[in-house]
């Protein structure tokens, strides 16, 4: 199947996802679907929250918007032209995480544009969104049907594996899948580096990097590196309009629990009634809490980042990924720095 046909199908999907991300009514822009088909996809978006309380309608529409940004003819061609197509077609199993909506879509896209067949092993936390998008793809390009499979049982008939999960999951990945070409990813998080001269708008954007998807993604910032003497009230004041996050029952439960634990342990922490902050050099923090520390020199800052490089997904700040853009990776921003397309071209 020609790559150009696959790209064309994804471009059409991108047009629809853009409309859905903006919650637009049915229009001629999505005339490739009937009004009933468009309404059915919208219903899936609105209903998902009842299956997974983390997957709010806003979160799903945001994920749709980020994916739609990838799915243009120019971007897909520019990206795939960097790689030589693998003529040895394989069945590639993709074991997907379920922490944020459609977190496995990039791997799914990579496998198909590499010319392989994909076997999707989804998390039970996110088992409905991708099949809905696949149904749309198959409307636009019926020949994709034979290239896409979903499996909710033991994986069979695979030649390579891409797997994402917790660090504990990595042990199982190694045990069961190391006999075939594989790409395994464990648990990572993201950090922010501040200089002290950030504007209020930049600090608010940092809050978005922390709280989008309720802080559950590997690209969510969980650790803040402040210059010595930074006034933390500046950060709290800048993010006050993001307080609605605590109204999500699951996030609110985490906030209440972590606050209670730290109160009982007489631990020092800061609280603005929807987000906790604790001074710690630990990279990972619980949901609803950020860890922070102060650095005294650029050398100290660099040493910390270098020491934790294998656990950091991305760094946000001036001179790094711009504030507010942590959840907006490009097609070439591969998770864990592992080039998925290169792996698929050579596996």
Count H helices and E strands in the chain, helices first.
Answer: 12, 11
- The domain spans of the chain are 3-187, 189-317
How many residues comprise the chain?
347
Report d(CA 251, CA 187) in Å as an integer.
20
Report d(CA 344, CA 347) in Å as an integer.
5
Domains 3-187 and 189-317 share a fold: no
Q: Out of 3.40.309.10, 1.10.10.350, 3.30.1360.80, 3.40.1190.20, select the CATH number for domain 189-317.
A: 3.40.309.10
- Taking the whole predicted model, whether its pTM rises above 0.75 is answered as yes
Classify residue 4 as exposed, middle or buried by CB count within 10 Å of its CB (0-12, 13-18, 19+): exposed
In this predicted model, what pLDDT tens digit does every residue of 113-144 receive, in sequence order?
Answer: 999 999 999 999 999 999 999 999 999 999 99
Is the confidence at residue 1, as pLDDT, over 90?
A: no
Report d(CA 160, CA 175) in Å as an integer.
14
CATH number attached to the domain at 3-187: 3.40.605.10
In sequence order, what are the beta bridge partners of 277?
A: 270, 290
In this predicted model, what pLDDT tens digit does every residue of 138-189 receive, in sequence order?
Answer: 999 999 999 999 999 999 999 999 999 988 899 999 999 999 999 999 999 9
Report d(CA 280, CA 268) in Å as an integer.
10
Is the confidence at residue 86, as pLDDT, over 90?
A: no
Structure tokens at 205: 């954007």
Report d(CA 57, CA 62) in Å as an integer.
9
């Amino acid at each position: 199947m020609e790559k150009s046909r696959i790209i064309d199908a994804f471009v059409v999907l991108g047009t629809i996802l853009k409309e859905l991300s903006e919650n637009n009514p049915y229009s001629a822009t999505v005339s490739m679907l009937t009004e009933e088909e468009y309404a059915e996809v919208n219903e899936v978006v609105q209903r998902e929250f009842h299956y997974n309380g983390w997957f709010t309608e806003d979160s799903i529409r945001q994920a749709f918007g980020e994916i739609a940004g990838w799915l243009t003819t120019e971007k897909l061609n520019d990206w795939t032209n960097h790689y030589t197509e693998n003529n040895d077609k394989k069945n590639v199993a993709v074991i997907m995480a379920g922490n944020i909506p459609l977190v496995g879509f990039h791997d799914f896209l990579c496998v198909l544009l590499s010319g392989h067949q994909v076997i999707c092993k989804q998390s039970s936390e996110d088992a409905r969104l991708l099949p809905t998008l696949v149904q749309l793809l198959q409307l636009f390009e019926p020949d994709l049907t034979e290239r896409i499979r979903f499996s909710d049982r033991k994986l069979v008939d695979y030649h390579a594996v891409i797997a994402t999960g917790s660090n504990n999951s990595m042990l199982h990945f190694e045990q069961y899948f190391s006999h075939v070409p594989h790409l395994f990813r464990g648990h990572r998080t993201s950090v922010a580096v501040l200089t002290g001269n950030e504007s209020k708008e930049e600090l608010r954007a940092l809050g978005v990097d922390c709280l989008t998807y309720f802080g559950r993604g590997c690209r969510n910032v969980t650790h803040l590196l402040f210059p010595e003497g930074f006034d933390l009230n500046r950060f709290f004041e800048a993010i006050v309009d993001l307080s609605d996050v605590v109204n999500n029952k699951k996030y609110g439960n985490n906030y209440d629990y972590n606050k209670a634990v730290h109160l009982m342990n007489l631990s020092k922490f800061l609280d603005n009634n929807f987000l906790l902050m604790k001074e710690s050099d630990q990279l990972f923090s619980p949901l609803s809490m950020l860890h922070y520390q102060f650095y005294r020199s650029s050398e100290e800052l660099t040493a910390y980042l270098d020491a934790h490089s294998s656990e950091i997904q991305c760094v946000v700040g001036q001179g790094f990924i711009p504030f507010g853009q942590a959840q907006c990776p490009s097609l070439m921003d591969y998770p864990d720095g592992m080039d998925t397309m290169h792996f698929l071209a050579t596996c």
